[in-house]
Structure 1
């Protein structure tokens, strides 16, 4: 199983959050509990009336008609109160669930971009789907059922004591069995369900990778390897689910046995007490009916513990998202002031995805305002990692990436000191992976600049040679299907609207055919004139058109200069150019 990227909240955090959540709605909670208490009280009258009826019949002085009428009245009252109580509980549960979902979305949106990239899709998808679904079932059904059952248990136990204290004793014999089985189960259930959810996240992540990379898998003959990975993930998930199933196969039969023992012992002991004159027939009848009535809510409470454990594990995973530490620390006085003509600079930058294994080694790079820099190099050299550091997605392990100006009038600020909204006003990143949100084309564009006019939106689309649907067309899931190239054009149009002074394009035109990519890059060059552009490219014509070229090899910048200068130098860039272009001249 892959290592856990996102944290999981501790049991203490889960309990504290549940308490705070319950105390947010004290009136609604008190009202629901009061209705359940009244319904339970109405239900307690019937066994007592039946007990008196049995004794009256045995003495030959029964008034069955009056008792039957009273029983009918109390049953109707109980039904009405239960209906109102369930409605109040369900309404409160839906309100709490809505708040939980909103808070979880806020936590996810607040995650550092670097954490989202490293976490992958599996963990986040499983938390937003499976865990939220599990918690929804618990809030809607398990929690109200548990509260209702606890109220009924408390009232019913009190009723048994009022009927005859001696008749409580037989039922207490089953308590040690309840305690032993429940303690055994609770000691194992939470960790078992956490492992089950983590295994499901790993399985989801593997399936997502296989679907997204289907063409690559087919091209490189990796089908069998992916089959083995999926089979292993399914086996791990099955083993975790089998473990929690084994817990339930021990727990539920143990509870059923204890319930049956409790009713049987009460009936047996009640008969003995009646024979010896220690309890009347009415008391014994009422006590047995109460214990029988107690069995239902007691069984629901103990069986719902299974769902509560599952919900607790889901809540721990949802709350754990909020425990991710921020990757930037804005100053207490607000966003730092940046003076002078802004430009990015990296000084002695090192970065590692895993401790002790740097992928960038002391990189120094100063961007000139308004220049176009192409970053080239072999696959795995660290180009994309450098681009993410320059865009502020990752913070360097050592060194700093700053924005600002040098000299007496200038002031430089590390990117990690800037709030995200301030950061995106300086530098933006566009990769080859883009998402089209469900909504109109206009909605997808103005998220980059909410105050943009239609004329500005159309100008941005013209800048990227847009040939798709008009602004009012619904796109995204269930709407007008955009091709990968159109989705990329949409992302670049957002970039034009956002208007940052520095752009990092990480192979942003790789999904377009070479001719369309060339045309799009030329259009962008005209629109983005005067802005700084860092283009991480695998097509070297991008480097040919750039002001400077940075060659990245093994996490270091080995060459930096113009295309023609590097060709004349005859170094690594010249070798790349010859192998790509098939010529030695520039």
Structure 2
């Protein structure tokens, strides 16, 4: 596990990334086995076409009758239809398999993010978290439902074509593999160099999102302090960094793809030229040369699709490493049990990160039923006190206790029943009022929801046109 930028959420290593992908796929073993079987059958039907065509050529030279030739040609046409049906069915099931895996990924990721300590999330920055939640999860979903099945199809088809070439003629089958060393060497080098490049590109994208989010959220402050130029320069700097990362990807591809093109040409040339010489020596037949030559041409398709998908695979793999990095974060140990609900701040000193102290030896002992109003200019530490009482942050010195124990050591579920932190921002999702409330208590019924609303004097719910079923959001009912 690595953490490339201070404060950012960690990034999983390659082993953890591949293990996570494997776990997602194998959670649906039956469907995965069915998809592989369909792809293999489709590849077998496709490989049989040039083999049977070679048999027809040799058969005509060997005295086959016209009816026998027609029969074999009819079988070839039937195999084309069979391959089409098998491939379509396999792709459809593969897409569904990938979609289910992507759904499981989204659910587990959101579940983990919601269980992260709020302080950790804030230190990571909204841009990093937003990019992982949207762009990275989307890239992995695309890998699972499209790129992954595409690579699987191409790999199975390539293996079947190579096996078919050796079945037709072991001698020509050896020539079939002439381009493999070049392909292996170039692919290994590309994958080794591409992984850090794609990871840095995703990280640069997070920096862009962080800068844009901060500028948009603080637009009024930016305007008040006339910081438009500074914020614009920061955005341009992040965009320039991202563009340089993209150029690095393009530079890798400018030598990789021509190298792959060479692997397409070598087998066909060797089979045609050397196979013709071997035919003159009587070692192979014309039909065998034609069959293997056609197999080499058919190999271009799966190899080309696989190599073209490597960039998307690297992009998805880099995104998966960032998504999985959130799961690798250690759980925060909070097991203290408060005795009561008394809140005390004793000689508290606090500062953010490595910055200066913003609270200096503060002590507060609010009594039961007492209302305490903290007044001060922006930056005086009002919100900081609330964060400490809610257990989001820990003091540098002194203690903040709830029921006699450090509030930052109390499980979040317990803290949330005793301390309610209402932020300046409002968080309303485009959904019904009931669905918004059920986010906090999924098992709560209508009676419990109405009681909770009454507790905070939100009796206005009775005046809503559809009660708890009223849709909220900018395009619906505003609160």
- Which one of the candidate residues 47, 64, 67 is aligned to 2:50? 47
Task: Name structure 1 gaps, 5 residues minimum.
Answer: 405-411, 483-586
How far residue 46 of structure 1 moved from its aligned partner, in angstroms, is: 1.1
More helix by share: 2
1:184 aligns with 2:181: no
How far residue 367 of structure 1 moved from its aligned partner, in angstroms, is: 2.4
SS in 2 for 1:346: strand
Q: Deviations over 1:83-135 (max 9, x none)?
A: 22222222211111111111111111111111122222211111111111111
CA distance in 2, matches of 1:269, 1:221: 75
The structure-2 alpha-carbon separation of the partners of 1:149 and 1:59, relative to structure 1 and needing over 3 Å to count, comes to: same
1:275 aligns with 2:271: no
SS in 2 for 1:137: helix
SS in 2 for 1:474: coil
8 A Cα contact 2:276 2:289, kept in partner: yes
CA distance in 2, matches of 1:99, 1:455: 34
CA distance in 1, matches of 2:63, 2:437: 86
Task: Name structure 2 gaps, 5 residues minimum.
Answer: none
8 A Cα contact 1:267 1:288, kept in partner: yes
- Which one of the candidate residues 264, 268, 291 is aligned to 1:286? 291
How far residue 278 of structure 1 moved from its aligned partner, in angstroms, is: 1.4
CA distance in 2, matches of 1:270, 1:351: 80
SS in 2 for 1:402: strand
Q: Deviations over 1:306-348 (max 9, x none)?
A: 21111111111111112333444225xxxx2524xx2111234
- In the alignment, which residue of structure 2 is the partner of 1:9? 12
- In the alignment, which residue of structure 1 is the partner of 2:430? 438
TM-score by length of 2: 0.90
- In the alignment, which residue of structure 2 is the partner of 1:130? 135
8 A Cα contact 2:338 2:402, kept in partner: no
SS in 2 for 1:89: helix
How far residue 399 of structure 1 moved from its aligned partner, in angstroms, is: 3.8
Larger Rg: 1
The structure-2 alpha-carbon separation of the partners of 1:465 and 1:137, relative to structure 1 and needing over 3 Å to count, comes to: closer
How far residue 78 of structure 1 moved from its aligned partner, in angstroms, is: 1.5
8 A Cα contact 1:327 1:416, kept in partner: no
Q: Deviations over 1:468-493 (max 9, x none)?
A: 987453221432244xxxxxxxxxxx
Q: Where in structure 2 are the equivalents of 1:343-358 lying within 5 Å?
A: 343-355=342-354, 357-358=356-357
More strand by share: 1
Deviates more, 1:267-276 or 1:374-383: 374-383
How far residue 459 of structure 1 moved from its aligned partner, in angstroms, is: 6.5
- In the alignment, which residue of structure 2 is the partner of 1:253? 258
The structure-2 alpha-carbon separation of the partners of 1:452 and 1:83, relative to structure 1 and needing over 3 Å to count, comes to: same
SS in 2 for 1:128: helix
Count of residue correspondences: 469
CA distance in 1, matches of 2:458, 2:355: 47
Q: Where in structure 2 are the equivalents of 1:138-537 lying within 5 Å?
A: 138-330=143-335, 336=337, 338-339=339-340, 342-355=341-354, 357-404=356-403, 412-441=404-433, 443-444=435-436, 450=444, 451-452=447-448, 454=450, 457=453, 460-461=456-457, 471=467, 472-482=469-479
TM-score by length of 1: 0.74
Task: Give the CA RMSD over aligned residues.
Answer: 2.6
- In the alignment, which residue of structure 2 is the partner of 1:118? 123
CA distance in 2, matches of 1:162, 1:363: 83
CA distance in 1, matches of 2:172, 2:440: 72
SS in 2 for 1:475: coil
8 A Cα contact 2:162 2:176, kept in partner: no
CA distance in 2, matches of 1:196, 1:362: 44
Q: Deviations over 1:200-226 (max 9, x none)?
A: 111112112222222222222111112
The structure-2 alpha-carbon separation of the partners of 1:220 and 1:315, relative to structure 1 and needing over 3 Å to count, comes to: same
The structure-2 alpha-carbon separation of the partners of 1:348 and 1:126, relative to structure 1 and needing over 3 Å to count, comes to: same
SS in 1 for 2:206: helix
